[in-house]
Amino acid sequence: MRKIGLFLLFLFLLFFSIVNTGFSLGIGPTDNEVDFQPNLVYEKTFYVVNSENYNIPIKMLVEGELSEYMTLDRYDFILGPKTTGSGLQHVKLKLTLPESLERPGAHRNFICAMENFEAVTSGISARIKSCVSLTVYVPYPGKYVEFTVRIENPEVNKTIRFFVDAINRGNETIKNALFRFYVYDADNNLVTSLVTEGKRMEPNEKVNFVGEWLAKDVRPGRYKLVTRVEYDDYRREDTTEFLIGSPTAKIVNISASDIVKKSEDKVTARFVEGSIARIIARVASEWNDKLTGLYILLTIKKDAFSTSVKSETFDLAKWEERDVTLFWDTSESPGPGEYTGYAVLYYPNGTHNVTFSIEVKSKLSDLLMPLVIIIIIAVILAYVFHRRRGKKVVQKKLF
């Protein structure tokens, strides 16, 4: 047991030593790009920064496909505490490209700063390493467009914009490039299509394209965007999924076995004290995909009294409507009177609620009504009987 305890302590100390220094070292700038040219000499200065209040010995490294063509002006130095002038220092990179590189496309490399001491814990060392990328792009023979798509304002009845950041990675000029957008719903039905204007693209030139679509009378849900680039005699496609709006569901109405009053904004249900009230919530999905893990929380209040009832967890298929039944034991209530019910539907990333009234009657009033009716009927029958009997007596005296 002692060995296990020491081992767990060792793991804790090792984890703490790594986490505690995990953000002590930074390097920048990030995401550096270079367009290949034969025998190009590229130079750039990077900074290394300390976020701790103690000295950190630094070892610089270059890694990647073209590391043999990269050199730094220094590889070892002391990075001072963050509060001192030596807490941020600079390193200059020199990249000397060869006459040619066989493989076209992206060649990824990294410039890294690493702690040059061992954080020793029970014989195990851990050193923090921070890197930034340097990517060299070798042109494709002929014409070749790379692009990324951004979708802005994906809401119902709003203008949705499809932004394209494109670059000609080929070594030839593209006379006319354009983008076509095809939007499909969850059932793979085409909803709309649009096309951008055509543009000329020189080698290594970055060009922006935009398409706009007014999503009028479109239901919220999950959609698919197929983006096709067409340039001269070439075409390529990319597929992206996106959401219009967000997953939603709602309570359509509240019903019960005894509804005594109903209007557009209010429902009043009546139950007898001591009975089990059966309350039915009609729920509906407003989403073109399945919603899972929904439930309803019903809260009933009157003055200081409050109680809650939770429904079963359920799913809704796309656009589905269904009834959810909740039961409230009125014997737990403080007695007859007017109660307020709050039904809240919980669904992924949202809620929907309705308010309604509940009237609880006493058992006595429920028994008195039939008794009163019986008495009234008895009185009427007695009156009719005696009146008929009186008429018969008069007739006998006349004859």
What pLDDT, on a 0 to 100 scale, did the predictor assign at position 332? 83
Helix segments in the chain, DSSP class H = 2-20, 363-398
130, pLDDT greater than 80: yes
What pLDDT, on a 0 to 100 scale, did the predictor assign at position 48? 96
Tens of pLDDT, residue by residue over 305-331, are 999 999 999 999 999 999 999 999 988
Beta-strand runs (E) in 202-311? 206-214, 221-231, 234-244, 249-256, 259-262, 267-272, 276-285, 291-302, 305-310
Residue of 307, 286, 297 whose CA lies nearest to 343: 297
**CATH assignment of 249-361?**
2.60.40.10
Rounded CA gap, 250 and 285, in Å?
7
Q: What is the mean pLDDT of residues 333-357?
A: 92
Residues 6+ apart with CB under 8 A from 43: 92, 93, 94, 95
What pLDDT, on a 0 to 100 scale, did the predictor assign at position 251? 95
Residue of 56, 27, 52, 53 whose CA lies nearest to 119: 56
What pLDDT, on a 0 to 100 scale, did the predictor assign at position 6? 44
Percent of the chain whose predicted confidence (pLDDT) is above 90: 65
What pLDDT, on a 0 to 100 scale, did the predictor assign at position 118? 60
What pLDDT, on a 0 to 100 scale, did the predictor assign at position 207? 97
C-alpha to C-alpha distances, 218 to 8, 63, 211, 215, 291, nearest whole angstrom: 57, 50, 17, 6, 19
Rounded CA gap, 324 and 397, in Å?
73
Residues 6+ apart with CB under 8 A from 36: 97, 101, 136, 137, 138, 139
223, pLDDT greater than 60: yes
Amino acid, res. 64? G
What pLDDT, on a 0 to 100 scale, did the predictor assign at position 331? 86
Indicate the pLDDT class of residue 368, thresholds 50, 70 and 90: very low
263, pLDDT greater than 70: no
Give the architecture-level CATH label for domain 22-138.
Sandwich (2.60)
Residue of 64, 69, 73 whose CA lies nearest to 134: 64
365, pLDDT greater than 60: no
Rounded CA gap, 220 and 210, in Å?
23
Token digits of residue 273 = 């004290």
Q: Where in the chain is the domain with CATH 2.60.40.10?
A: 22-138, 145-244, 249-361
Tens of pLDDT, residue by residue over 176-206, are 999 999 999 989 999 999 999 999 999 999 9
Q: Which residue has the higher pLDDT, 373 or 217?
A: 217
Top-ranked range on mean pLDDT: pick from 59-63, 217-221, 246-250 = 59-63
Rounded CA gap, 127 and 102, in Å?
36
Rounded CA gap, 201 and 140, in Å?
14
Rounded CA gap, 221 and 135, in Å?
38
Give the least confident one: 104-113, 171-180, 212-221, 373-382: 373-382
Separation of CA 30 from chain center: 28
Residue keyed to tokens 């409050």: 306
- Residue range 145-244 forms a domain whose CATH class is mainly beta
Rounded CA gap, 119 and 126, in Å?
5
What pLDDT, on a 0 to 100 scale, did the predictor assign at position 31? 85
Beta-carbon count within 10 A of 362 CB: 14
C-alpha to C-alpha distances, 354 to 190, 264, 317, nearest whole angstrom: 36, 12, 22
What pLDDT, on a 0 to 100 scale, did the predictor assign at position 23? 52
Token digits of residue 111 = 């410039």
Rounded CA gap, 55 and 34, in Å?
34
What pLDDT, on a 0 to 100 scale, did the predictor assign at position 61? 95
Q: 109, 132 in Cβ contact below 8 A?
A: no
